[in-house]
Structure 1
């Protein structure tokens, strides 16, 4: 993935591009797993799709990389596409993100200390500060039991 993004950025610099991405909702007893990111704010596990990868595969791969949990995609919750992001390095993008409910089937919770500083399950009432509007919308839709969402 990094090679593809690096290659793409050599052509377009920091200009805005559309990027396919996926996030995972991992639920346990009515709470969802969130990761504390290097910014100190929280979000869902997820990231940019690699070339040749289906979006549900992206959600499963990112969930493993960022949480240590082996998961299987069970349900498409929605598509979130009308968001603008500027990365800390100045790269601009419009992420088109598919949100999947995934089920943990193995592995053990662990932080990679790179993308994930802490992992914790939160109920709707306990939610910490979420790092971006796209993730806030996804989390709000999840707890409101909205499915088939498109924004």
Structure 2
């Protein structure tokens, strides 16, 4: 995922490589045949759901729609929140550290054609549930949650102690 300009400015202004807590959004795009839209990432070579970082002042659902269009050429309408979760801390090859608070949306395509539409993907495609490429467990869980109709998933808080 490309680093937004505002994050580069923060890092240049003194944050450096310190841990940043960032708003992340993931889109599970399901078409009428139940296929899921995936992109093969340039940075890892792995297939993944489309996602990105919200811009300042941007609503998360708009972030999901923007990221899908920018990365795949597909226009979508976010339909519901699938999950909200804090992700593990990441360290990038340049030493930048971050942790995402991810909101995953189920989205419905409303136009466009799936294609590589930016420099973040090697390939883009629609995959039937029984023909998915190798995906990590967290991605498979989000796809399964998006296919269901239940409430949004989140990690239970447990008991809070002050």
Whether TM-score is above 0.5 comes out as: yes
Counterparts of residues 48-87 of structure 1 (less than 5 Å): 48-87=53-92
Q: Residue in 2 aligned with 1:32?
A: 36
Structure 1 stretches lacking a partner, 5+ long: none
Matches of 2:46 and 2:131, distance apart in 1: 14
Structure 2 stretches lacking a partner, 5+ long: 156-162
Larger radius of gyration, structure 1 or 2?
2
TM-score of the superposed pair, with normalisation by structure 2: 0.81
C-alpha RMSD over aligned residues: 2.1
Q: Is 1:5 aligned to residue 10 of structure 2?
A: no
* Structure 1 ranges of 4+ moved more than 6 A: none
Structure 1 125/145 Cα, relative in aligned 2: closer, same or farther at 3 Å?
A: farther
Q: Secondary structure at the match of 2:56?
A: coil
Q: Is 1:17 aligned to residue 15 of structure 2?
A: no
Q: What does the per-residue CA deviation read over 1:105-124, in whole Å, with 9 as the maximum and x for residues that have no partner? A: 11222203511111122234
Structure 1 147/88 Cα, relative in aligned 2: closer, same or farther at 3 Å?
A: farther
Q: What does the per-residue CA deviation read over 1:22-72, in whole Å, with 9 as the maximum and x for residues that have no partner? A: 111111212211100012101111100001101111000000001101111
Matches of 1:144 and 1:98, distance apart in 2: 16
Measure how far apart 1:13 and its partner are: 1.5
TM-score of the superposed pair, with normalisation by structure 1: 0.87
Moved more, 119-128 or 134-143: 134-143
Matches of 2:63 and 2:91, distance apart in 1: 21
Count of matched residue positions in the alignment of Structure 1 and Structure 2:
150
Measure how far apart 1:140 and its partner are: 4.5
Q: Is 1:109 aligned to residue 105 of structure 2?
A: no
Structure 1 91/149 Cα, relative in aligned 2: closer, same or farther at 3 Å?
A: same
Contact kept? 1:80, 1:134, Cα under 8 Å: no
